[in-house]
Copies of this chain bind each other. A is one copy, B any other.
Amino acid sequence: MIVRDDMTFPFAEYQRRIDELRGRMQKRLLDAIVISDPENLMYLTDYQTTGYSFFQALVIPLDNEPFMITRKLEESNVYARTWVEITRPYPDTGDAIQMLVESLREFGLNGKHIGYERNSYFFPAYHQDSIHTTFTDGRLLDCFGIVEQGRITKSPVEIEIMRKAAHATEAGMKAGFEACVAGATENEIGAAISAGMFQAGGETPAVMPYVTSGPRTMIGHATWEGRVVQPGEHVFLEVGGCYRRYHTAMMRTVVLGDMTDTFYKAQEKMKLALQRLKEIMRPGLTVSDADNLVRAIITDNDIGGSLITRSGYSIGIAFPPSWDEGYIISLKQGISTVLEEGMTFHIIPWMWGVEGDKTMGISDTLYVTENGCESFFTLDKDFVVKPEYGA
C-alpha cells in the first residue's frame, strides 16, 4: 500500500477496511479475493471511474500486496486516487479475463482458493464463464457480500462525508422549489436542481433527480421528459446529492395551488411516519420493526394512497444506475437484521395513487447513533404550497 494523504479519508481508514476484510477472508478460508463491484472498489481503495462497464478488479491476496486489473484508459485513476501499487492494465484490443488469469498466476495464486463476487453486475456471465474455463488450476468460490459486510455501518469519517452530500441535496432541492412554477417545463425544474446541486459542491449522482408533475407523478422512477407543468398541479421531487460517491436522498412535494384537505392529510401522515420512526430508531431495533412502523402509519389512510414498495433502504456509496444499497439492507417485512450504530437509511414513507392519480412523498436520510438516530437534513418537510399558481 502506498501511504498518501490526498485521499477522501485518512489513510488509516483504508488500512482498517483492508485489515477487517482480510479477517473475513481468513474465516472463509480464502487465499485471495477478486473484487469487481464498483462501490466495493471505491470503498477499499478510493478508486472511481465511470468506465466500469469495462471489466476491472482489485485482487487482494491474504498475505501479499493487492493488485488491480483495469482497462488501460482507467489505470490513471489508480495512480491519481488510490494506495494501490501494482496494476496490470489491458488495451482495448486485449482480453480482460486473460489479463486477470495471467496476473493470478504471476502472483502465485494458481492452485489457491480464490473468492469472486458471483452476483456483481459488472462481472457478467461471459466473463465468469471465461475465468471458470481458463483458471483451472485453482478453486473459484463465491464471496459476494464479503466487502458489503464492512460497508453496512459507516464510520464517523464517512458520516462527515455524507454531510457534504446532504449539503448538495438540500441546495438542489431548494433550487427545485424556486423553479416549480406553472408554465415551466419539468426539464427546466430538473436543470435548476442539477445546477443547484453541482454549484454547492455536489458531484454527479448515481441517479439524476426525479421531477414529475400532475399525472406523471404516477409513473415509477420517471423524471423530466418535456412536459409543461400546469396551474393547480403538484410536483414530485426526489434528489440524491453526491460527494465522493457518497449519497443522501430526499423526497419533497410542491403544490401549485391551495393546500387541499387531501394534500394536508397526506403531508401529515408522511411527517408522522418519519417523526415516529425517528423517535424509536436505535441500535437493537430490527429492520422489520422499522418497516412495520412506517408501513402501518401510511397504510391507514382514507385518501387512497398506498406504499407499494419497501419503506426504506441503506444508502451510502453508489455508482449508476442506483443510489441505494438495498442489496445490503432494505426495510421490508421478514428482514430480521438488527440496527447498529453507523447504519444510514433513506426512509421513504411515500404515497402512490392519492385520490387515484397523484403520487407524493416526503423522505429523510437518517443515521443510527449510539442511542438513537439523527437526520442529515434541516430543510423543512412540509409541502411547498404556492397558491399563486392555482388553477
Contacts and interface: CB of A to CB of B under 8 A. Distances in A.
A191 B188 contact: no
Nearest to A194: B194
Contact of A220 (B51, B121, B226, B332): B51
Given A53-B121, A119-B126, A75 B187 contact: no
Interface in A185-235: 187-188, 190-192, 194-199, 201-204, 206-208, 216, 218-226
A330 interface: yes
A74 B125 CA distance: 25
A332 to B, nearest CB: 5
A134 to B, nearest CB: 17
A377 interface: no
A338 interface: no
A3 interface: no
A391 interface: no
A85 to B, nearest CB: 18
A53 B199 contact: no
Contact of A202 (B118, B187, B202, B321): B187
B223 A308 contact: no
Contacts of A310: 92
Nearest to A189: B198
A198 B204 contact: no
Given A120-B124, A188-B198, 18 more contacts: A49-B222, A50-B207, A51-B220, A51-B322, A53-B121, A72-B308, A73-B352, A76-B218, A77-B221, A77-B222, A93-B333, A118-B125, A190-B204, A191-B195, A191-B196, A194-B195, A194-B198, A195-B195
Interface of A: 49-53, 72-77, 80-81, 91-93, 118-126, 128, 144, 187-188, 190-192, 194-199, 201-204, 206-208, 216, 218-226, 244, 308-310, 319-322, 330, 332-334, 352
10 contacts: A73-B220, A75-B220, A92-B310, A93-B332, A119-B125, A191-B197, A198-B224, A203-B223, A206-B320, A320-B321
